[in-house]
Amino acid sequence: MRIDIVSVFPEYFDVLNLSLLGKAQDKGLLQVTAHNLRDWTHDVHRTVDDTPVGGGAGMVMKPEIWAQCLDDVLGLPARELENVELTLDDDLPVGQGYGVHATKHGSEVGAAEQSSAIATTQLEHGHKPSQLKQVLIFPNPSAPLFNQQAATELSHAEQLVFGCGRYEGIDARVPRYYAEQGVDVREYSIGDYVLNGGEVAVSAMIEAIVRLIPGFMGNPESIVEESYTGDALLEHRPYTKPTTWRGIAVPQVLISGDHAKVDRYRRDEAIMRTNAIRPDLIEQLDCRRLDKADRKL
């Protein structure tokens, strides 16, 4: 899998090189690249945002910068610059040029170098953009919740591109445009609270997705049994030795040696905990997946 992340704070993603994700990259299962959105700007201030049309607080991220960047990262054909307001840049000596250079080839030198750097990376890793099953994902607190089902589905993609918004978000025409181009576009929230930007949400989504890539986890069984897979129940609580610690004994059944009883105990625990903590998950539960003993609870 190839993962491209676009952000104005690409350093946030340095941590992805640590731990299991780093190992997956070493094994060649995964290649993660964090891009700086500002590399696709053309003005000396490297501006990525503007005031909201219609008024209001905060700033909105500009669609043309995002599109220049995403066209490159998705491997779509470069387009000529369009709808760019040519402004005389007052930081440059008069006569030396404009803040924005609209050329036939779509961009000034900096951005052209960017796209060739990406093309080289794709060649090095043997990807042809046309063969990729791509998904473009925008973290958005006002979107459907990201869950284990979404993570599982996305773990089968060949390329994931994450566009991290800051401020009041990215101009709404950006996801719409790529969807209209036939790109599989998703927007996800990671919970009912507000973060300052999408970076932390994307880190969480990547960790949830990448551990589901076949060959990533040392012990695939630990994935099958855990919370939210299969029945969408919370997991039973874990215990290790000693069987009595600081006067607290582990549940007796766990040291009985009776595997059927242990399984039954763990399933009861999972159902009761889910009922107490997440009754919404109990309501979603597929009744056909409950066994006779479950129904007595």
Contact call for residues 186 and 155 (beta carbons, < 8 A): no
197 binds ligand 6GU (CB under 6 A): yes
201 binds ligand 6GU (CB under 6 A): yes
Phi and psi for 33 in degrees, rounded to 5?
-130, 125
Site for ligand 6GU in 59-78 (CB under 6 A): none
Residues in the chain: 297
Interacting span for ligand 6GU (CB under 6 A) from 54-62, 97-105, 195-203, 222-230: 195-203
Q: What angle do CA 33, 48, 8 make, to 5 degrees?
A: 30
Interacting span for ligand 6GU (CB under 6 A) from 40-48, 123-131, 185-193, 286-294: 185-193
56 binds ligand 6GU (CB under 6 A): no
163 binds ligand 6GU (CB under 6 A): no
Q: Is 195 annotated as a binding residue?
A: yes
Q: Is 192 annotated as a binding residue?
A: yes
Nearest to 3 by CA among 121, 110, 117, 112: 121
| Alpha-carbon span 164 to 37, nearest angstrom | 9
Specify the DSSP class assigned to residue 96: S
Q: From the CB of 233, what's the least distance to ligand 6GU, in Å?
A: 23
What is the pairing mode between strands 248-249 and 60-61? unpaired
Interacting span for ligand 6GU (CB under 6 A) from 12-20, 27-35, 75-83, 192-200: 192-200
What is the pairing mode between strands 134-139 and 184-188? parallel
Residue 174: partners with Cβ closer than 8 Å, 6 or more residues away: 63, 66, 67, 70, 138, 163
Q: Is 194 annotated as a binding residue?
A: yes
Q: Is 163 annotated as a binding residue?
A: no
Residue carrying structure tokens 């008024």: 55
Q: Is 48 annotated as a binding residue?
A: no
The contact pattern for ligand 6GU, residues 78-117, with x = CB under 6 A and - = no contact, is ----------------------------------------
The contact pattern for ligand 6GU, residues 120-139, with x = CB under 6 A and - = no contact, is -------------------x
Q: Is 98 annotated as a binding residue?
A: no
Contact call for residues 64 and 109 (beta carbons, < 8 A): no
Closest CB to ligand 6GU among 75 and 198? 198
Residue 245: partners with Cβ closer than 8 Å, 6 or more residues away: none
- Tell me if residue 275 falls in helix, strand or coil: helix
142 binds ligand 6GU (CB under 6 A): no
Which residues are annotated as part of the binding site?
165, 190-195
List residues near ligand 6GU by CB under 6 A.
139-141, 189-191, 193-195, 197-198, 201
